[in-house]
A and B are shown apart, each in its own frame.
Chain A
Amino acid sequence: MYWRNKEQITQVMMHSEEEIYQEHVLDHSDDPYHRGRCIDATHAHEDDNPLCGDVVRVELRIQDQRVAEAWFDGEGCCISLASASMLMEELEGKTVQDVRNFGAEQMLSLFRAKLTPNRQKCCLLSWKVVQSALYSPTNDATGNGETG
């Protein structure tokens, strides 16, 4: 992101500052959707952000090229937990292709609250883990799951 002048930086930062901890963000981080293990997961991936110590693991059950269930677990800040929760909710029912096409910009829009570049990393951690999980079948995922 490039800022044209100091006023613009000030405006943007004040704007985003005020909006980060919105009710829906706090609701998701306090009571996340599908935080835990996915029984019968066909795909899973885990990654961390060593800079802040955040860790996210995503487990998916993919059936007939669709995400039947999406679960996450991990440790992290409010932004990374809330964004993971929102993403799990969003993913369920989507086709594998739709999930692949779900880009970083869409993830940031899904989160709604405006984030400064350094907090965008928190928001995008679970999204990155999901993208890798699509290509990471679990060992016992034979038979009915997605294998690609």
Chain B
Amino acid sequence: MPAVDAITPIDPHAWRTDFPILETRIRGTCPLIYLDNAATAQRPRQVIQAMVSAYEEHYANVHRGVHWLSDQSTDLYENSREKVRSFINAVHCHEVIFTAGTTAAINLVARSWGDSQVKAGDEILLTMMEHHSNLVPWQQLAERTGCTIRFIPVRDNGTLALDNIDELVTERTKIVAITAISNVLGTINPLQEIISKAHAVEAKVLVDAAQSAPHEVLDVQQLQADFVAFSGHKMMGPSGIGVLYGRETILERMPPFMGGGSMIRRVRLDGFESGDLPAKFEAGTPPIVPAIGLASAIEYLSRIGIAAIREHESLLTQRTHQLLQEVDGVRILGPGPAQTAGIVSFVLDRIHAHDVAQICDRHGVAIRAGHHCAMPLHKALGVNASNRASFYFYNTLDEVDRLAAALKDAKKIMRRA
């Protein structure tokens, strides 16, 4: 990773040429302005080609055959695991479990670790800004075990209210599951502070890094989180692949979650012995080619440099805040650009989010409308639905200007100007 003072500013136009989809003209005429990266990012030719090559030249099932092709496939799959390990700076390769995505990774922890460690009377601590995928699995665990879920509240400005954290993190707390970056507000949460509070009472911590892994340096040793979950598709990999990082000593004590092929050492008619890490948590034929695609995406990311990506997105976010504040009737949800990643959610006075997104679409601007899988957060903010613009390194300042122009047009069309 380059040192902070060595950041070369990103020229998004240079990188965009690698992304065929960014050449798209909406309805044949209007250039696509893709500002829905928090939902899913686009992928460069290199990642697509890595997957095509895997299918065309190296594909067989992994860890099964003694034949040459299976060895090829297995090597590529396991090399991908090593790439992920290095990307997140985990100690061991077998601490990297491939899953179907962030959601599957969190469900794995809630099922395997949760069912074996959590009982009635225990507490799980979440925040009010969690994505449904870091909320519902814990609600299901609470239904099964009778444990209680508590929430770190969100202030009006979109940051976590940590004033009463010592009352929330207690000896009853078994796990704190928290998002690194809010997928709605863009808020960057103070993970280090929360993790040390949790560890002081011997609670585990799961970090939902779905929004941070593509944009921020992720060093699991420095972070000292017990579990970290993220998805491939938000960082230019394919959908259908995600990662659960777990600390070796914790994963070893966890029972397998799904049963099937690969996850066993041996099977008898009256029972089975589970295999070693990471196979224990990878039942069935894994997402082989998606893992190879993810590794290719990590390579691509490393070429750009996470620090440079962060820097560029910060420029985009600042410009967005500035331009949106100039539009009458816009309310930005979340804190200022200094405390946020490349996500800006907002509402327009007396225009529904869907109508805003529909008119933005006429300008080729793809933004999200709705509750962004965070209904409780929207309720807390007192809005039914919002619009969200989310950036990646290939977005340009000009695209931010086009968004602002589209919003002004929305006001005009809806007779709110």
Residues of A within 8 A of B (CB): 10, 13-14, 17, 20-21, 26, 30, 50-55, 75-79, 119, 122
Is there contact, CB below 8 Å, between A78 and B355? yes
Q: Please give the distance in Å from B333's CB to the nearest CB on chain A.
A: 14
Contacts of B49 in A (CB 8 A): none
Does B371 touch A at the CB level, under 8 Å? Answer: yes
Distance between Cα atoms of A10 and B352 in the complex (Å): 25
Is there contact, CB below 8 Å, between B413 and A21? yes
Is there contact, CB below 8 Å, between A51 and B370? yes
If A10-B27, A21-B414 touch, whether A52 touches B354 (CB-CB below 8 Å) is yes
Is there contact, CB below 8 Å, between A119 and B385? no
Report B358-374 residues with CB < 8 Å from chain A CB. Answer: 358-359, 361-362, 369-371
Distance between Cα atoms of A122 and B362 in the complex (Å): 19
Contacts of A53 in B (CB 8 A): 370-371, 375, 378, 384-385
> Nearest chain-A residue to B413 (Cβ)?
A21
Is there contact, CB below 8 Å, between B384 and A78? no
Residues of B within 8 A of A (CB): 27-28, 351-355, 358-359, 361-362, 369-371, 375, 378, 384-385, 413-415
Contacts of A79 in B (CB 8 A): 354-355
Most buried by B among A10, A14, A50, A52: A52
Is there contact, CB below 8 Å, between A75 and B28? no
> Nearest chain-B residue to A78 (Cβ)?
B355
Is there contact, CB below 8 Å, between A10 and B28? yes
Contacts of B27 in A (CB 8 A): 10, 13-14, 17
Is there contact, CB below 8 Å, between B358 and A20? yes
A-B contacts, 30 listed (Cβ < 8 Å): A10-B27, A17-B27, A17-B361, A21-B355, A21-B414, A26-B414, A26-B415, A30-B415, A51-B370, A52-B353, A52-B354, A52-B370, A52-B384, A52-B385, A53-B370, A53-B371, A53-B375, A53-B384, A55-B384, A76-B352, A77-B352, A77-B353, A77-B355, A78-B351, A78-B352, A78-B414, A79-B354, A79-B355, A119-B358, A122-B354
> Nearest chain-B residue to A75 (Cβ)?
B384
Q: Please give the distance in Å from A5's CB to the nearest CB on chain B.
A: 13
Contacts of A21 in B (CB 8 A): 355, 359, 413-414
Q: Please give the distance in Å from A55's CB to the nearest CB on chain B.
A: 8
- 15 new A-B contacts at CB < 8 Å, known A17-B361, A119-B358, A122-B354: A10-B27, A13-B27, A14-B27, A21-B355, A21-B414, A50-B375, A52-B370, A53-B384, A53-B385, A54-B384, A77-B352, A77-B355, A78-B351, A78-B414, A119-B354
Q: Please give the distance in Å from B90's CB to the nearest CB on chain A.
A: 37
Contacts of B358 in A (CB 8 A): 20, 119
Contacts of B384 in A (CB 8 A): 52-55, 75
Contacts of B359 in A (CB 8 A): 21
Contacts of B351 in A (CB 8 A): 78
Distance between Cα atoms of A21 and B410 in the complex (Å): 10
Distance between Cα atoms of A62 and B169 in the complex (Å): 56
> Nearest chain-A residue to B362 (Cβ)?
A17
Contacts of A122 in B (CB 8 A): 354
If A53-B384, A53-B385 touch, whether A77 touches B414 (CB-CB below 8 Å) is no
> Nearest chain-B residue to A9 (Cβ)?
B27
Is there contact, CB below 8 Å, between A77 and B413? no
Distance between Cα atoms of A76 and B352 in the complex (Å): 7
Contacts of A52 in B (CB 8 A): 353-354, 369-370, 384-385
> Nearest chain-B residue to A118 (Cβ)?
B354
Contacts of A77 in B (CB 8 A): 352-355
Distance between Cα atoms of A77 and B362 in the complex (Å): 17
- 6 nearest A-B pairs in the assembled complex, by CB-CB distance: A53-B384, A77-B352, A77-B354, A53-B385, A78-B355, A77-B355
Distance between Cα atoms of A54 and B383 in the complex (Å): 11
Q: Please give the distance in Å from A69's CB to the nearest CB on chain B.
A: 27
> Nearest chain-B residue to A23 (Cβ)?
B415
Distance between Cα atoms of A37 and B296 in the complex (Å): 59
Distance between Cα atoms of A51 and B375 in the complex (Å): 10
